[in-house]
Every structure is written in structure tokens, then in C-alpha cells.
Amino acid sequence: MQVPAVPDILKLRRGTGAPRRIQDNLTIALFLLPALILFFIFVLYPIIQSVYYSMFNWKGFGPAVDFVGVENFKKILTDRVFLIALRNGLLIVTFSLLFQLPLSMFLAVMVARDLPGRAFFRTIFFMPYVLSEVITAYIWLFLFNPDPERGFLNALVTLGGGKPVLFLGNTDIVLITVFVVLTWKYFGFHMLLYLTGLQNIPTEIEEAARIDGASPIQSFFYITLPLLGSTIRTSVYLSVIGALQVFALVWIMTKGGPVNASEMLATYMYRFSFVRFQLGYGSAVAIYMFLICVTFSLIYQRLTRQPDYLTGL
Amino acid sequence: MPTSFLLPRWMQRTISRFFQYLILSVIVVIIVVPVVMLVFAALKTRGEVMSHPYTPPIPVHWENLQLILGGPVFWGMLRNSLIVMLVVTVGVVVLCSLAAFVFARMDFRGKGLLFNLFTVGLMLPIPVAILPVYLVIRRMDQLGVPVLDNLLGIMLVQIAFALSGNIMILRSFFTAIPGELQDAAYIDGCTAFDFFWRILLPLARPALASVAALTMIVSWNDLLVPLVVLNNDKLWTLPLGTMQFQGQYGQDLSLVSAFVALSAIPTIIFYLLAERQIVSGLTAGAIKG
């Protein structure tokens, strides 16, 4: 049997012949172009174009001619409703960090490795996540009905001797109501992230801690929690970006009301763009939202960059 | 802890298991009861929903369901949603695997820059970009591309906004496939396309399934894009149609409940069938993206 000489193998290596290179370049171009074109037309270009429109007072009929410079951007910052929307977004983020994420982590630890029936619980807990926001909103709209004869929750409240609560009609509690529904829908997703994170922690580490005499609580705070670091980082990031996106749920349940008490940035932009048709102003709101997203992402990535304890996660 | 001295280990374990199941069961009730109330209301007459809204529907009234399933409205919306979902899913899987392959396995000048460009998409979710996108759609329509008030417009936008995340997922999957495989294939005379088509894609089938399942859910549940793109009620998708149906028949709680319940059924069936793919797609996306 003849073993091919080394130079022959080298000749077969890629990138040596010109035809091969042309073929490669063709592959690269053909593979990338469809995605790139769509991405440019529907993601990048719209945002660039909005920077232009945001400098006009424009109702959307005919070309934009009434140039106002940065007037829209100034007006937004002094609009009380925009500030309420901003505050509501921050409140939703705060509530999520204080309640939703700890709850999700707690449940993930409960449904830990060896619990019989864990697949069942996981399936049920994650189900609200796959239901659309439209369906979720209607389900809860029925439950929140202020009339105890119609709304299940108020039936429970009156059964317990309380007075019917205007869950969606009281400016003081409407945001909490929205948050409860958001938690109902999204905690399963965060629980899933934590479950994956927990699975990636080698059992040996926890066993070693137990042998060394750590109580379950110590083991959680000194072993599990630090090792979940990168999962927590992801989960917090997605919570914040998610709060910026809340739209359908609020739009269907409250339309941002009563008196703007549950206004979110996305509903604010939608109202100005598609109800009042102030497209220049709406564009400026979109730019602000985009800037918030980008600024937060960059700062967050910079601040939380840290050596991972476990590979890749 | 003091109990550890008083009780034998198996007893401690049983007690902690009991509380574990108790807490988990409470959460199950909180998840399930709202859905059950919806189903109850859907299976009653309008009068029954008024007079005793919280009891189980005995006898079961199928009238609302028959009314909805007997007319063309629900089926039309279901068809529109299905068409959009299938085209978007095929589009996302094809375009993302092609692009991810180039980013994972080929080299060219400007690759890093292009890749970073795609990461911008991660910071630009649809609710933020909806007005800018609408303006582009409207302009394209004026220029003669039929995308406004057309399912095509929804498909293109949904595909475009699914690109970034799914390219990241697939790229990291393709990168994890050993380089020796590629060398071996090239030595055997494969072109880049051969390697992609005959070796990489078959190996990546689980990842492709996850991307597909995830895309299906996102497209199926999307309200915002159909809401701004569509006007013609013949083209409405299920979420949009459900919203408009409620606006029209809001007084008849049982009928609206039946409609909402029916529109939830396809999602739940799909979820039970594809839970594994959806879950792995989501976690991969969140961790890699």
C-alpha cells in the first residue's frame, strides 16, 4: 500500500487554489445575504430612518416638512405621562428583582434534581409562558371583574368579608395587579433558567459541603447561589429588557389607565404613534427606548463581566 | 438545627417533602384555576355565567363552541395564523442556519463587524421598533411591494426580528462541532456547501428543532405586528382576532370565553408535544444570547 507523500496532502488543503477561494467567497455571500438584507431593511434601516423622522412634527400624511429639531425629545422629557411610564417600568423591574426572581429561584430549588414528579410541576409552571399575552390578558380580565357576581377574585374577597377591590380601576393598585399577571405568566421562564443553572452545578460540590457539615441553608447561600451567578445575571438582564417590552397585556387589560396609572413605555409609544398619529413624536419615543436598551445592555455587560465559575454557562 | 437531634433522618425527609409538595401544589392551583375558570365559562350559556359563574358547567353546554366552530371566522383566523407561523418558521430556520454556518465555520474580512451588527438586533425588541418598522412597511407598500395589510408583511418582519437571537443559538451550536470533522470532510473533497448540508445540518437537528419550536411559539402569539400591519379582517391572525372578537361581543362573557379557550387549545397541544424543544431552545437562547 502506498502512503501518499506529505506534500500531496498539503495540496488538498483548503485555501490554496484560486477557484476554491472564489467558491468559498460565493458561499459566504449567498449564505449571508438573505439574512443580512432582511435584517437591514426591517431592523437597522427603520431605526436609522426614525432618527430622521424624530426631528419633525409629522402626522404621517405626505412628506415630513415641519422640522422642529430636538423639540420632540425635549417635549417627551417634560411630559408627565412619559415620566409615569418610565417610573412604572422601573417599578416593574424593581418588583421583578425583589419578588419574581427570588420566587422563581425558590421554586427551581424546590423542584430540584431528585423530586419525584418534577417533570409534572415543570410542565404546569411553564405553561402560562406559552399562552399568548392576549389569552393571558382575557383570562385575568374575567377574574379581576370588580363585581363579585362576575369576578372570581372579588367573590373570594367578599367571601372573606372584605369589600370588592377595583383591581384594574384603582390607580393605587393597578400596577401591582399588572405585576401579578406578569409574574403569573413569566415566573416559569425564569424558573426554567435557574433549573438549567442548577443542573450544571456538579453534585459533588454540594455533597462535599454536606459531608463537611453544612446545613441545607448554608449550602444554598455559600455554594448554590454563587455558582448560579451567571444564570442570575442572565435572568436579571432579561427581566429588565422584558419590562421595556410590556405591551399586549397592559393594552388589553387597562389601555394604560386609569388616568395613565399603568402606562408603560411601549403603550405610550403605541398611543402616540397609532392612536394619535403623531409619528414624529412617536419616533422620538422609539429612539429613547432604543437608547435605554443599548445603554443598559452595554453598562450591564461591563459591570457584570466576571470570571465564570463553571465553563461556558 | 434542633430537629436533627430529635427526629430520625427519614422522618425529617418526609416532613420536608410534605412541605415541598404543599408549596408546589399551591402554585399549581394558582396556575390552573384561572385556566379552569375560563373553560367553565366557555361551557356555559350566557345566562348561567351570570347566575352562577364559578360552578362547574353541569350540564355541559357546547352551544358556544358549536357557534364559533360552525362559522368561518375562527377557521379563517386559524388558517392565517398557521400560514404565517409555518412560513416564518421555515424562513427563520433556513436563513439562520445559513448565516450561523458562515459565522461559525468560515473566515472573511469584516466577519466580526457583521456579527456585531446582528447583535444590535438583540437590543431592539419588536415593541421598541414597531413604529419605525411600520413606517418602512408603509413606504414599501407605496413603492409597490404588497406588505401593508398583507400576511407577507407580517412574515418578513417576524423573520427579521427572529434573526439575531437564533443566529446566536445556532452559531454556538455549530462552533461546538469538532473542527476535525470539517478537515476530514474537506480532505475527502467536500465543498463548504457539502459539509454544511451533509454533515453539519444532520448533526444540528436537535438545535434546529429547538429554534423551530421557539419561533413557532413567538410567531403564533405575536399581537403587535399583525395589529399595525393588518386592516382587512379576513387576514386577522388568532391573537388579533381574539382581541377584536372581545371588542365586538364583550357583553357575552360565555361566548368570549369560548373563543379565548378555543384559541388557546392549539398552543397547549403544541406545548405538550414539543415541550422539550421549546425548553431547550429557550434556555440555549437565554444563556448564549
- The alpha carbon of residue B14 is apart from the nearest alpha carbon of chain A, in Å, by 12
Residues of A in contact with B238 (CB under 8 A): 132
In a domain, A135, yes or no: yes
In a domain, A255, yes or no: yes
Q: Is the domain of A122 the same as that of A220?
A: yes
Residues of A in contact with B278 (CB under 8 A): 130
User: What pTM did the predictor assign?
Assistant: 0.89
Q: Is the domain of A292 the same as that of A213?
A: no
ipTM above 0.90, yes or no: no
Total structural domains within chain A: 2
How long a stretch of residues is chain A? 313
Q: Is A28 in Cβ contact with B267 (below 8 Å)?
A: no
Cβ proximity of B252 and B46 under 8 Å: yes
Cβ proximity of B17 and A116 under 8 Å: no
Q: Is the domain of A197 the same as that of A288?
A: no
In a domain, A33, yes or no: no
Neighbours of B277 (CB within 10 A): 19
Q: Is the domain of A245 the same as that of A132?
A: yes
Residues of B in contact with A134 (CB under 8 A): 221, 223, 239, 242-243, 263
Query: Which residue in chain B is spatially nearest to A216 when comparing CA positions?
Result: B1
Distance CA B289, CA B46 (A): 47
Q: Is the domain of A216 the same as that of A70?
A: no
Q: Is the domain of A205 the same as that of A158?
A: yes
Cβ burial, residue B200 (10 Å; 0-12/13-18/19+): buried
Q: Is the domain of A103 the same as that of A149?
A: yes
Q: Is the domain of A253 the same as that of A225?
A: yes
Q: Is the domain of A192 the same as that of A288?
A: no
Distance CA B62, CA B109 (A): 64
Give the CATH number of the domain where residue A90 resides: 1.10.3720.10
- All three cell numbers of A210, joined, read 454536606
In a domain, A128, yes or no: yes
Which of B32, B78, B128, B228 to substitute to test the interface with A, most A CBs within 10 Å?
Answer: B128
Q: Which amino acid is at A154?
A: N
Q: Is the domain of A295 the same as that of A183?
A: no
Distance CA A206, CA A224 (A): 8
Which of B5, B22, B23, B31 to substitute to test the interface with A, most A CBs within 10 Å?
Answer: B31
Residues of A in contact with B112 (CB under 8 A): none
Spatial CB neighbours of B41, under 8 Å, sequence gap ≥ 6: A142, B49, B53, B253, B254, B257, B258
Q: Is the domain of A176 the same as that of A280?
A: no
**In angstroms, what is the C-alpha Rg of chain A?**
26
Range of the domain at A112: 86-272
In a domain, A12, yes or no: no
pLDDT tens per residue, chain A (313 residues)?
A: 455 554 454 444 555 556 777 888 888 899 999 999 999 999 999 999 999 999 999 888 878 888 888 899 999 999 999 999 999 999 999 999 999 999 999 999 888 767 888 889 999 999 999 999 999 999 998 888 887 777 888 888 888 877 888 888 888 899 999 999 999 999 999 999 998 888 888 888 888 888 888 887 888 888 888 888 888 998 999 999 999 899 999 999 999 878 899 999 999 999 999 999 999 999 999 999 999 999 999 999 888 875 444 333 3
Q: B143-180 b/e with 16+ CB inside 10 Å = b?
A: eeeebbebbebbbbbbbbbbbbbbbbbbbbbbeeeeee
Of B226, B78, B95, residue with least CA distance to B151: B226
Of B32, B118, B132, the CB nearest to A46: B132
Q: Is B98 in Cβ contact with A43 (below 8 Å)?
A: no
Mutual angle of helices B253-288 and B238-249, in 10-degree steps: 150
Domain regions of chain B by residue span = 3-42, 72-288
- Domain B72-288 top-level CATH class: mainly alpha
In a domain, A111, yes or no: yes
Q: What are phi and psi of B204, to 5 degrees?
A: -90, 10
Q: Is the domain of A108 the same as that of A257?
A: yes
